[in-house]
Amino acid sequence: MKTLKPRMLILVMALVLVASVVPMGRGPQASGMDVLYNGGFEQGFVSNSDCPGMVGAGWGCFNNGGAAQYGFYDDMWAPVVAAGQNSQLIEINTKEQGGDPNRQAGIFQRVVVQAGATYQLSLKGMIRADDRDTSDPWRYRVYVGFDPTGGVNWQAVSDWRELPWDTYYPRTDPGSFSSYSTAVTASGPALTVFIRAERKWGTWYEETDFNLDAISLVGPAVPVPYDKDKPAHPSSNKDGYTAPPAQPGDSDGYTAPPAQPGDSGHTAPPAQSSDGGYTAPPAQPGDGGQTAPPAQSSDGGYTAPASTAW
């Protein structure tokens, strides 16, 4: 009986080992990352008078007006925060005026994606209400929607998906968060994610609160350059929504997120020249025909002499 040569035996053992650790029938799996900005609302909030209220930095907002009051808030009450220290609160109430059914409000964000790639949207939420009319078990709803072209008009969205969140808590007695996850395939280089809350009935003197947190959109990231000339401020109009700040990969490049709380004391460094990033300091005495610098306030009343060639 022939025996395998040592070299052949080593090769056979290596093939067996590889087959045992690599799943058959599957190619390499693409690693994904969260392409949303501030989905956990820990990067701050921005005041927005069109919504009105405080909206998570990087997010736009909308409502459909009518006989209702709307509010957007940075909610830091621990029982209504799923992770971290903040959640986005969207309020629809009829305490000042009521009567119109199907009042809606929400947030959205446009992101740069890889065309043809599949992304997984996940989020958590809680619905709380002053329930006076409990006859309809679906009286409050939450939806997610997608615009495959990167548009920011929520009323033009056709792909809305209703979340199976059927548990409502007293407004001042929160319960547990509900979760939801769904997949979406990008058809182009940009995709807009919308999250919409709805109060179906116009019953007077009620308030409904929708807390959203831990929102992510995981899939292939698209690296893009930084564009210092693109403005970071969101654009707004009076049509019921405000566009979010430009996101990484917008057609003109990348724009940094808006300033966050606490940034007021920060001053950007002086502009640099294009010669390798270096800017020469101000001319000093002895620089070949330059004059001495002017007197400083700390010079105790001393005034520099007239310019002299050095």
140, part of any domain: yes
Q: Among 20-24, 162-166, 243-247, 298-302, which range has the highest average pLDDT?
A: 162-166
304, part of any domain: no
> How far is the C-alpha of 94 from the C-alpha of 132, rounded, in Å?
12
292, part of any domain: no
Segment 15-35 shows an average pLDDT of: 49
Q: How many domains does the chain have?
A: 1
> What range does the domain containing 87 cover?
33-249
| More confident position, 259 or 184 | 184
Segment 136-153 shows an average pLDDT of: 95
Contact by Cβ (8 Å): 208, 93: yes
209, part of any domain: yes
Average pLDDT, the chain: 75
Which stretches of the chain are DSSP H helices? 6-21
Neighbours of 10 (CB within 10 A): 11
Segment 10-26 shows an average pLDDT of: 42
The CATH number linked to 110 is 2.60.120.260
Which pLDDT belongs to residue 223?
78
281, part of any domain: no
pLDDT tens digits, one per residue of 223-272: 765 444 543 334 433 334 444 444 444 444 334 444 444 444 444 444 44
**pLDDT at residue 86 greater than cutoff 80:** yes
Tokens 């001042």 -> residue: 172
Segment 282-294 shows an average pLDDT of: 43
| More confident position, 87 or 227 | 87
pLDDT confidence of 188, banded at 50, 70, 90? very high
243, part of any domain: yes
23, part of any domain: no
The strand ranges marked E within 151-255 are: 159-162, 168-170, 178-185, 190-199, 207-219, 241-242
> How far is the C-alpha of 231 from the C-alpha of 246, rounded, in Å?
8
> How far is the C-alpha of 231 from the C-alpha of 67, rounded, in Å?
35
Which pLDDT belongs to residue 131?
83
Distance of CA 275 to the CA centre of its chain: 35
pTM of the model: 0.66
258, part of any domain: no
